């Protein structure tokens, strides 16, 4: 089955609202002929302007987080209905930085995945191991556990619409990149796990990204691996030339 490559930028805490709009306006023409699905994951304050700037283009917009409740006394949080009303397409859930710095757990990732679908958003669910966990040889067990908890209670049709991003924590922002073989191995483990849970049809449909120092130089080889369906791109997604090359990796 042919899965559409997804090149998603995770801008993290970068760019003001004005800078974000200027970037997307400049990006639109550059990626108009990209075969990959192009997504920009921008800070909350940038979402209204970026959604407007992306209208009529092939660029989809992602939020970087959301709360699982519809509303309530959750100071500083943003809900599904708020994102949905803005016209956001995707939401990144469970990024390792959220887990490490803000107490995100496998259980809250699962709650957020359910909330995303409730409000018409597609989740990009992040999983991955630390350097210690890799060195201890528990990568497969850990990633399988994260996937199982994240998807708990989702329907087969919902999982087909989910994007799973394998992000080895040791390779995020460090300049270290898993080898093509290392990345492919774990993305393959994730696909087998989904197959065990939901069957072959779902496993062959769900898109699995690699994230961890993806750049213009390594994207084509990474995206060419059988089980890697694109990338969740950090620093390189903030640079027009680099992100264009990643989105058009096969041209």
pLDDT tens-digit map of 142-169: 999 999 999 999 999 999 999 999 999 9
Is the Cα torsion angle 182, 185, 2, 195 positive or negative in sign?
negative
Give strand pairing partners of 39: 8, 60
| Mean pLDDT, residues 88-116 | 97
Q: Which domains occur in the chain, in start order?
A: 6-247 (3.20.20.70)
pLDDT at residue 171 in the model: 85
Going by C-beta distance under 8 Å and a sequence separation of 6 or more, which residues neighbour residue 188?
Answer: 226, 227
pLDDT at residue 42 in the model: 98
Task: Quote the CA–CA distance of 53 and 3 in Å, as a whole number.
Answer: 27
How high is the mean pLDDT of the chain? 96
Going by C-beta distance under 8 Å and a sequence separation of 6 or more, which residues neighbour residue 147?
Answer: 127, 164, 190, 193, 194
As annotated, the binding site includes: 10-12, 173, 213, 234-235
| Mean pLDDT, residues 114-133 | 96
| Helices (runs of H) and strands (runs of E) counted in the chain | 12, 8
pLDDT at residue 176 in the model: 77
Q: What six digits make up the tokens of 92?
A: 């990144």
> Position of tokens 């397409």?
89
pLDDT tens-digit map of 3-52: 999 999 999 999 999 999 999 999 999 999 999 999 999 999 999 999 99
Residues with a catalytic annotation lie at 95, 167
As annotated, the binding site for substrate includes: 10-12, 173, 213, 234-235
> Position of tokens 């992306």?
54
pLDDT at residue 1 in the model: 55
Asked whether residue 193 carries a pLDDT value surpassing 60, the answer given is yes
């Amino acid at each position: 089955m042919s899965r559409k490559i997804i090149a998603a930028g995770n801008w993290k805490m970068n760019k003001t609202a004005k800078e974000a709009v200027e970037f997307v306006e400049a990006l639109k023409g550059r990626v108009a002929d990209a075969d990959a699905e192009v997504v920009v994951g921008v800070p909350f304050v940038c979402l209204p302007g970026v959604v407007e700037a992306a209208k009529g283009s092939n660029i989809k917009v992602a939020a970087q987080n959301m709360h699982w409740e519809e509303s309530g006394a959750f100071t500083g949080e943003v809900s599904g209905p708020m994102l949905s009303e803005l016209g956001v397409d995707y939401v990144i859930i469970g990024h390792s930085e959220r887990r490490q710095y803000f107490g995100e757990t496998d259980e809250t990732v699962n709650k957020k995945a359910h909330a995303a679908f409730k409000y018409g958003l597609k989740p990009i669910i992040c999983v991955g191991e630390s350097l210690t966990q890799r060195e201890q040889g528990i990568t497969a067990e850990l990633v399988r556990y994260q996937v199982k908890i994240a998807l708990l209670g989702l329907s087969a049709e919902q999982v087909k619409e989910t994007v799973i991003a394998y992000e080895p924590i040791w390779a995020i922002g460090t300049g270290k990149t898993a080898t093509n073989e290392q990345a492919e191995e774990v993305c393959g483990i994730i696909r087998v796990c989904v197959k065990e849970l939901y069957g072959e049809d779902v496993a062959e449909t769900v898109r699995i990204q690699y994230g961890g120092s993806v750049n213009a130089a390594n994207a084509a080889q990474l995206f060419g691996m059988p089980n890697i369906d694109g990338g969740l791109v950090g620093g390189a997604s903030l640079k027009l030339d680099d992100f264009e090359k990643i989105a058009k990796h096969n041209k």
